[in-house]
Structure 1
């Protein structure tokens, strides 16, 4: 049986907040502060363990500390790993939150703000973004939580942070089930990607073509096709130990992306059914997003 019982974070919890410049670190930091976190910006990564030692020496002073790091910190990855190794050896719970966004959105945000990217030097904004991606790639790979803010405004990101890091700690696993179209690209923040293009495409059925996977006729057409029901059954069963493992590893947010060709019929219907089934698991909250629904 799945064990997803609520777990309250221990004292002196540490959160490393990092990610791409322009992806929303400041918004996330402000949201954490509003929830009572003590947020430190500009701290050299090698001083993380020193900071936590000072906190530990003053019980009750700071229970939840968030350290904001960016690529301008010299040797960010190696310094961060060294500092976190010392924190882990001291028995302190920590997580790494990484904020991501598409190149196009980041360029637009820097242009709107009329400021250069911190790593672009004499080049273009896009040059700075690419340099930062390269530097932060190993950090993103090892992050506990990755949030793609491309489709989020300021309020949407703040709400997401609030759901993940409320006053009592995240007591449920927040699962984001996202339908998408492969022709528009795979979601950057997907932990798991399911390809449902093996199901016949309703696009080629004239009376179903103008409808979407949220329509009952399309849903029935998709789910009643050979292999579709079995896929859903087995996929839910396969995800159960994964969700258990996320909790054991102190990960509380995951994105399951379900793709078809255009993100209108099959992926939408399967996402809705998966979400319905997964929401029945104990202590799992499910959010459904249809990324490409409405695109031509």
Structure 2
């Protein structure tokens, strides 16, 4: 068995964001799972695995703040995986602070970091410590508004047994008035463009309607920005692929998330779908608000 036949997944993220549910999901699908693995044991476990002649082909490890005493070695371990041609992915689960706070209050469990007197400060400190790891993630999933069932559906969509599938790109339209999605890899603001909201005949329509798209795109600044935007994203994609990213969330925001951002997301979908090289999805988060 070749090394690159191995499906090797690292599950990490914020405490209370759903790592246990994610591990259960993968265990039910034939992954050999280990919870709370010290980072320094990654390479040792891989060595033992190959000595066993690869009887287990899918591995998933949960590494999080509970292993913080070993965390400083995590990045060195990741480098070792790359040097040994181990095909790995990092799944990072996240949620907004207020949601994590509510989840801990409901379960009445102590935060695993436990360095401050208040739960919120421990959550904030954990987020600070995990920032570099979050930036390394192949896939980031925001569980703020997800039930356990929703999370399973999301994971099912992302992991279909194809560990080396094409780069998946999701273009997300949103309204700044409803908050910025926390699972974005990059974000662009189109509030400087002409707003159809102030045109009576377009106010109740959305960027899914041709009339709105034509109104937004007829402005010279819209055409120029779209050209620069597609050029920038096209430039960045190969670099994200080089860093083993498997999913990109690209947010386009306007004031309410109905007109300009929806128009641009639809245009970007049309443009990048034409290449056939990537899995392209769109999500209009606030279009019905």
TM-score, length basis structure 1: 0.87
Q: Can you list the C-alpha shifts for 1:185-212, whole angstroms capped at 9, x where unaligned?
A: 3322212212212211112212222332
Cα distance in 2 for partners of 1:282, 1:212 equals 27
Where does residue 126 of structure 2 map in the other structure?
A: 132
Cα distance in 2 for partners of 1:91, 1:244 equals 19
Deviation at 1:156, TM superposition (A): 2.7
Cα distance in 2 for partners of 1:220, 1:151 equals 33
Where does residue 212 of structure 2 map in the other structure?
A: 218
Where does residue 235 of structure 1 map in the other structure?
A: 229
> Do the aligned partners of 1:164 and 1:170 also contact (CA within 8 Å) in 2?
no
Where does residue 184 of structure 2 map in the other structure?
A: 190
Q: Structure 1 residues 22 and 199, CA, compared in 2 at 3 Å: closer, same or farther? A: same
1:32 to 26, 29, 32: 26
2:11 to 17, 25, 34: 17
Q: Can you list the C-alpha shifts for 1:12-56, whole angstroms capped at 9, x where unaligned?
A: 342211000111112221222233221111221111111111001
Q: Can you list the C-alpha shifts for 1:106-132, whole angstroms capped at 9, x where unaligned?
A: 122222333332234673331221121
1:64 to 49, 58, 65: 58
| Other structure's SS at 1:84 match | helix
Cα distance in 2 for partners of 1:158, 1:113 equals 21
Deviation at 1:9, TM superposition (A): 8.6
> Do the aligned partners of 1:120 and 1:127 also contact (CA within 8 Å) in 2?
no
RMSD: 2.3
Cα distance in 1 for partners of 2:189, 2:141 equals 22
Cα distance in 2 for partners of 1:258, 1:172 equals 22
Cα distance in 1 for partners of 2:161, 2:8 equals 14
Deviation at 1:97, TM superposition (A): 1.7
Cα distance in 2 for partners of 1:149, 1:207 equals 37
| Other structure's SS at 1:92 match | coil
Deviation at 1:244, TM superposition (A): 3.1
Where does residue 3 of structure 1 map in the other structure?
A: none
> Do the aligned partners of 1:11 and 1:64 also contact (CA within 8 Å) in 2?
no
Q: Which one has a larger percent helix, Structure 1 or Structure 2?
A: 2
Cα distance in 2 for partners of 1:222, 1:21 equals 42
Q: Structure 1 residues 224 and 9, CA, compared in 2 at 3 Å: closer, same or farther? A: farther
Structure 1's consecutive aligned runs of 4 or more residues displaced over 4 angstroms after TM superposition are: none
| Other structure's SS at 1:227 match | helix
Q: Structure 1 residues 9 and 201, CA, compared in 2 at 3 Å: closer, same or farther? A: farther
* Structure 1: segments with no counterpart, 5+ residues: 1-7
TM-score, length basis structure 2: 0.89
> Do the aligned partners of 1:45 and 1:73 also contact (CA within 8 Å) in 2?
yes
